Amino acid sequence: MRFRILINLHYLEIGGVETSLIGLLQALDPKRVEVDLFLNDHHGEMMQFIPEWVNILPSISAYTMIERPISEALRKGYFRIVQARLWAKYKFHRYVKRKCPIDGSAIFGYVGKYVTPVLPSLNKFGHYDLAISFLTPHNIILNKVNAKKKICWIHTDYSHIDVNKELELPVWSGYDYIASISASVTTNFCAAFPALRDKIVEIENILLPTFVRMRAEVEPIPKEIRKEQNEILLLTIGRYSYPKKMEEIPVICRLLTEKGIRVKWYIIGYGQSDEYIRKVITQEGMEKQVILLGKRTNPYPYIKACDWYIQPSRYEGNSVVVREAQILQKPVIITAYPTATSQVKNGIDGIIVPLDVSMCADKMAVALNNEELKNRIVDYLSTHDYGNESEVDKIYSLIV
């Protein structure tokens, strides 16, 4: 008998969380489990990579209104959802005035609390052996699904975000297990929620090297990637957002140029507007050195074409794209965010540089000028397996 699993995620646009879900689905064995995938909204470039054997549950229109424009929800008559979203926003703004949080992450807790009660139940899909909530807010799986066991995921570093702990603790506590993607993520999450330590199960983001390499080879080297003589090609991929710190790339690039290092730095970005980065590019005079490529459905040929992959983030949970670059045997440089050492062995399979912009440029310059170091890292990457399909066994162990 196969075990029944339900997995919930918002949608499947390009992103690290979405990529790790595809990795999990590809690693699961259809002979052992049957999987129902419930997406709040059926859209995103990653939809095409869902394995054929996975059952995509039909869309429920009320769930699509969780994140669509309020004007659309009003036009379609979802007045209770609009009211709940506005109330969540109001309560969040009261929290901001009272607490002055470091960021806006707490909004998800309010959306989960006030919007979930007005959504229809998912019990019509039956009883499951395991239900998985893959991204916050985790209220839907907790309150709308009938399952023997339930698990939710931590994908971020809780030392760098703000949440309303009183609001979120009952949600996390309602789960049988909490999946953490790395030891560092576990440490920082438990510092915020020490009472939940016994629920933690560490499950790394699952990546299949065969999938990454296949995607890198399916298309030729992109025509917009052009390398001039003695030029070093750098690449960064990520959402245009505060954690990724992309607005500092033009500054770092200028400092490298002043040190006599010829670089061209490509950025594949998505999400909000890139205007804040373009403004810095102009201020620093880096129009020819920093190239914004926008969103790319298949970023892997770009990784293959670059000389170094750079992740200049302020914080990460466990960067999927860094491991993808390592799978493609590209040397990586990442900043010293709190979870950095859980992913890169400094000087062995990548380089960790300071978060400070000036010091970051200094250390990057040393690495970029050291061809022997680069070759040594590439040699190491070529002899080590960065796949981790066996992580899926931890999922099976939770069911029985």
Question: For 151-205, what is each residue's pLDDT tens digit?
Answer: 999 999 898 899 999 999 999 999 999 999 999 999 999 999 999 999 999 999 9
Q: Check whether residue 339 and residue 256 sit in a common domain.
A: yes
Amino acid 230: pLDDT: 87
| 388 falls within a domain | no
Q: Residues of the chain with pLDDT > 90: what percent?
A: 86
End-of-domain residue from the set 154, 184, 206: 206
Q: Angle 213-321-52 (CA atoms, 0-180°, nearest 5)? A: 55
d(CA 267, CA 281): 12
Q: Where are the alpha helices (DSSP H) in the chain?
A: 16-27, 61-64, 70-75, 79-99, 107-115, 139-144, 165-173, 183-192, 209-217, 249-258, 275-284, 300-305, 320-327, 357-368, 371-382, 392-399
Contacts of 363 (CB under 8 A, 6+ apart): 351, 353, 354
Residue 339: predicted pLDDT: 87
Separation between Cα atoms, residue 124 and residue 145, nearest integer Å: 9
The token pair that represents 215 in the structure block: 């995607």
Q: Tell the burial category of 260 from Cβ atoms under 10 Å away from its Cβ (0-12, 13-18, 19+).
A: exposed
Question: Does one domain contain both 114 and 33?
Answer: yes
Instruction: Tell whether 178 and 220 lie within a shared domain.
Output: no
Sign of the C-alpha dihedral computed for residues 249, 251, 253 and 259 taken in this order: negative
Mean of pLDDT over the chain: 94
Taking CA atoms, 310 is separated from 37, 133, 265, in Å, by 33, 30, 9
Which pLDDT value is given to residue 398? Answer: 93
Q: Is the pTM of this model over 0.75?
A: yes
Could you tell me if residue 47 is inside a domain? Answer: yes
Beta bridge partners of 133: 8, 152
Residue 285 DSSP code: T
pLDDT confidence of residue 57: 98
d(CA 160, CA 113): 22
What mean pLDDT is predicted for residues 205-214?
92
Quick: pLDDT tens for 330-343: 999 999 998 899 88
Residue holding tokens 């690290």?
16
pLDDT at 400: 77
Residue 392 lies in a domain: no
Q: Are 130 and 265 found together in one domain?
A: no
Do 17 and 155 form a contact (C-beta atoms < 8 A)?
A: yes
Helix (H, G, I), strand (E, B) or coil at 152: strand
Same domain, 115 and 152: yes
**Arithmetic mean of pLDDT, 344-353:** 96
To 5 degrees, how large is the angle CA 390–CA 316–CA 308?
A: 85
In the chain, the percentage of residues whose pLDDT exceeds 70 is 100
**Token pair belonging to 165:** 């702990």
- Cα separation, 128 vs 399, whole angstroms: 10
What is the rounded distance in angstroms from the CA atom of residue 248 to the CA atom of residue 258?
A: 16
Task: Give me the number of domains the chain comprises.
Answer: 2
If asked whether residues 39 and 99 sit together in one domain, one would say yes
**Residues 282-291, mean pLDDT to the nearest whole number:** 96
**Residue 105, domain CATH:** 3.40.50
One domain, residues 107 and 179: yes
Q: Is residue 79 part of a domain?
A: yes
Q: Per-residue pLDDT for 93 more than 80?
A: yes
Mean pLDDT of 61-78: 96
Range of the domain at 360: 210-382
| Angle 329-320-170 from CA coordinates, rounded to 5° | 160
Between CA 215 and CA 354 the distance in angstroms is 32
Shared domain for 220 and 361, answered yes or no, is: yes
pLDDT single digits (tens) 14-49: 888 999 999 999 999 999 999 999 999 999 999 999
255: in domain = yes
pLDDT confidence bin for 356, thresholds 50/70/90: very high
Q: Which of 206, 234, 267 is the last residue of a domain?
A: 206
Residue 399 in domain: no
Domain limit, last residue, from 159, 177, 206: 206
258 CB contacts (<8 Å, ≥6 apart)? Answer: none
Q: 3-state SS of 320-379?
A: HHHHHHHHCCCCEEEECCCCHHHCCCECCCEEEECCCHHHHHHHHHHHHCCHHHHHHHHH
Distance from C-alpha of 182 to C-alpha of 200, rounded to nearest angstrom: 11
At residue 277, the pLDDT reads: 93
Per-residue pLDDT, 224? 85
Q: Are strands 308-311 and 332-335 parallel, antiparallel or unpaired?
A: parallel
* Residue 272 pLDDT greater than 80, yes or no: no
User: What would the DSSP string read from start to end of 123-141?
Assistant: GGG--EEEEEE-SS--HHH
The answer to whether residues 127 and 103 belong to one domain is yes
The region, left, alpha or beta by phi > 0 then psi within -120 to 50, assigned to residue 27 is alpha
**pLDDT tens for residues 305-320?**
999 999 999 989 888 9
In a domain, 391, yes or no: no
Please check whether residue 212 is in contact with residue 328, taking contact to mean a CB–CB distance below 8 angstroms. yes
What is the reported pLDDT for 317? 84
- Residues 232, 144, single domain; the answer is no
Same domain, 44 and 189: yes
Mean pLDDT of 56-69: 96
Residues 367-396 have pLDDT tens digits of 999 999 999 999 999 999 888 999 999 999
Are 314 and 345 part of one and the same domain?
yes
Express each pLDDT in 214-242 by its tens digit: 999 988 888 888 888 889 999 999 989 88
Q: Which CATH number goes with the domain that contains 239? A: 3.40.50.2000
Tell me if 89 is assigned to some domain. yes
Asked if residue 297 has pLDDT above 90, the reply is: no
